[in-house]
Every structure is written in structure tokens, then in C-alpha cells.
Structure 1
């Protein structure tokens, strides 16, 4: 079972993501306020972070950069999710430090596939 931190301000999306992750045997911890996400990651010690890019207070890109600077979290895989996929967004998201990027509305199959690909093999076994 993997520990997955989900940073998303939309209640429907957080429910969908957490339900999908739980259905695949993972422990999903939701964070709806991006200002609390870095501390939540330090406490939860996730195997994967999934973050929206368009967040109030602290953007997903800023959060990704902060995680990359944090000892103990710097190597945690990050998957970015955004509804505003534009030219160059993929490059910007990856440059910030995310390994994967999924656009909204999500394809459930692609979401699950990306999560599985990012998790360490020992954490992805339910």
C-alpha cells in the first residue's frame, strides 16, 4: 500500500482522486489548502504526491519546487494535474520537478496508469 498525498482545492476532484486511489489499495491523504501541503507531506511521508497546478495561495508549481528543496521529500515522485493545459505547460511542470502530468478532466485509466508507473514497485503492490 502506497501513501499518496493529494493536493487539490476542488472537493469533487479530491473525492474522485482519493476514491480511485483507495480502490487500488492506496492510503490517500487529501489536502485542500496548499498552504498546509508541505507540512502535511513532511508528516505523512508519502510515496507519491499528486497536486493540482491551479491552487489558491501557493500554486502547484511553487509547491513542487518547495518539495524538491525539502530534505526527505526531494526524491518523492510528483504527478501534476491541471485543467489549464496550454502550450509549454508540460515543459514548465517538468522543469519545476514533476515526473508526470495529467490534464483534467482526467482519464481514469491514464490516471491509474501514471500513478502505478510513478510508485516504487514495493509500494504499488496492494
Structure 2
């Protein structure tokens, strides 16, 4: 079981992501904007982050870049979540340091597969 930080400003999408994370057997930590997500990433040191890219204020790309440039959080895998499914957005996610890219609406199997693939090695060995 791992800790997964979900950074999502939409209440319905947050509820769905939280349910998917819990159904996969993990603990969900919730942040409704990038600023609180950055604080929680530092204090909780989650095993994985699900990052919405369209957030109020600082967007998810900028937040991911900050996480990846910080030695404390640089190794935490980040999955970009977005309703924008363009190649440009996928490129922006990669350039920001995202480890995977999932489009909304979230699909159960896609989210579970990405979590399983990106969770730290110790979690993969026990599953």
C-alpha cells in the first residue's frame, strides 16, 4: 500500500480519483490547488502524484516542474491528468517532468495500470 497525492480542483474528478486510488489499495491524500499540493508533497512525501494540469493559479505543469527541480520531491512519479488530449499538452507534460499522461474522463483500468507501473519497486514486489 502506498500514499498517492491527488491534486485536483474539480470536486467530482477528485471524488473519482480518490475512489480509484482507494480501490487500488492505496491511501489518497487530497489537494485542491497546486500550492497546497506542493506543501503536501513536501510534508507527506507520497509515493506517487496524480496532477491535474488545469488548476487555478499555478497550473499542474508549473507545479510538476517545481517538484522535479526540488531534490526532496524529484524522484516522486507524477501522472498528468487532463481533459486536453492534444500532442502539445502531452509534450508540455513530458517537458515539465511528468512520468505519464492520462486524459479525462478517467478510466478505471488506465489509472490502475499507471499506478501499478509507476509505484515504487517495493510495492510492485508485493503485488
**Please, what TM-score do these two structures have when normalized by structure 2?**
0.93
CA contact (8 A) 1:45 1:73 kept: yes
CA contact (8 A) 1:5 1:50 kept: yes
1:22 aligned residue: 22
Equivalent position SS for 2:98: coil
2:62 aligned residue: 62
CA contact (8 A) 1:8 1:52 kept: yes
Distance in 1, matches of 2:71 and 2:47, equals: 14
Distance in 1, matches of 2:70 and 2:123, equals: 21
Note the C-alpha offset of 1:123.
2.8
Q: What is the count of residue pairs matched by the alignment?
A: 126
CA contact (8 A) 1:47 1:123 kept: no
Q: Unaligned 5+ residue runs, structure 2? A: none
Distance in 2, matches of 1:34 and 1:78, equals: 13
Q: Are 1:52 and 2:52 matched, yes or no? A: yes
Q: Unaligned 5+ residue runs, structure 1? A: none
Once superposed, which parts of structure 1, at least 4 consecutive aligned residues long, lie more than 3 Å away? none
- Cα RMSD (Å): 1.2
Note the C-alpha offset of 1:121.
2.8
Distance in 2, matches of 1:121 and 1:18, equals: 22
Cα deviation digits, residues 100-123 of structure 1 (max 9, x gap): 000011221111101110111313
Note the C-alpha offset of 1:92.
1.3
